[in-house]
Structure 1
Amino acid sequence: QSKTVSEIAADDALREFAVAAGGAAFKVNCVQCHGSGAQGSKGFPNLNDDDWLWGGKAEQIQQTITHGIRFASDPDTRLSEMPAFGDIITADQIAQVSAYVASLSGKVHDASLIQPGAKVFAENCVACHGDNAKGNKELGAPDLTDAIWLYGSGETAIADQVRAPKQGVMPAWGARLCETKVKELAVYIHSLGGGE
């Protein structure tokens, strides 16, 4: 219990035990949302890839497991909340920025909307997603240039998220599980190949 998740992961015997115990705990506590293979589904992230909103290092995974995401009763929960732009920008601007964002990951898009969409993005989105749209792990803002989409890809799905974003929630497992079990889960999830 006194070792950090990085120390556990660096010790072959401890890592092997933690991965086995964490895998068992995952089956009991996590598969309902993330799936039996940790592949996720719409609205629930895939834990096998390398797309982490708050970072994929073992300690960062442990922090997320311990305090959850937008879990109201935990003051240390991970918070990020994209504003609903439906009342902030026009419907035309939403269509423009959605086409621009779709273009960043090679999705089918209306090419005539790219230039004005880039302007809308620069004026409204770079503060969180960055000039290069690669996201910001300190804020939990996703990378918009990859092909990984939590709530669906394409202009329509992107426009829906810009207009009235869905905000995922994850329980704070630190309130339900002992610290050792949380560390085992963090080592297991990190071992899936998606950890940084």
Structure 2
Amino acid sequence: MKQLSLSALLPPLLLALALSACQREAAGPNDTATAQTPPANDQPAEDVPPATAPVVTPPASDTLARFDGYGDLRFGMSADEAKKAWGGELRGEAAADGGCYYLRPIWAQNAAEFGFMIENGKFARVDVGNDKETAPGGGKRGMSADEIRKLYAGRVEEQPHKYVDGGKNLRISDAGGAAGALVFETDAAGKVTAWRIGVPPQVDYVEGCS
């Protein structure tokens, strides 16, 4: 029997070593990937509070009153246009001479509680004597004169009330420079008893339509 020389055995031996090395390299990445694969349950052991969205506090109330009107009503509209814009029933009869009168929604007891002033056939002013409505800028019935001064700082023109001893009229012009104005009436203790918003000269009528 012939004996194989070392030189004859060397090439097959090197080939076997090379194949073994390739197999280990091929298996390496898979082994690493398997080791790095996270377990199915990867939740932390401790309790984690759920994510919460920031809480946004809505304003206490919205206002429909503006320096150019109320809701869909605009100062300068005809009475018929104002009624159509309101969309519901409005009580009140036009003055026989075409002068000043009020339209009011069915829930208002009278125009002093809430009313739309019409003069010369045009919508000119809103009168508010209830606690529900908010004036543009945040003023309301029941506030103090000091609160009104702070809300409308630098814009308040004060006049003595014509019929209430110690009372005042606090007049605020439109910050945008338009013709509209807002007037708060206070009693002797400095509390707002009513307010109105509209265009001159009607907004400055102390007696309303009287």
TM range (shorter): under 0.3
Structure with the largest fraction of helix: 1
Task: Return the TM-score normalized by structure 2.
Answer: 0.24
Task: Return the TM-score normalized by structure 1.
Answer: 0.25
Structure with the largest fraction of strand: 2
Pair member with larger Rg: 2
Question: Larger relative CO (CA 8 A, sep 6+): 1 or 2?
Answer: 1
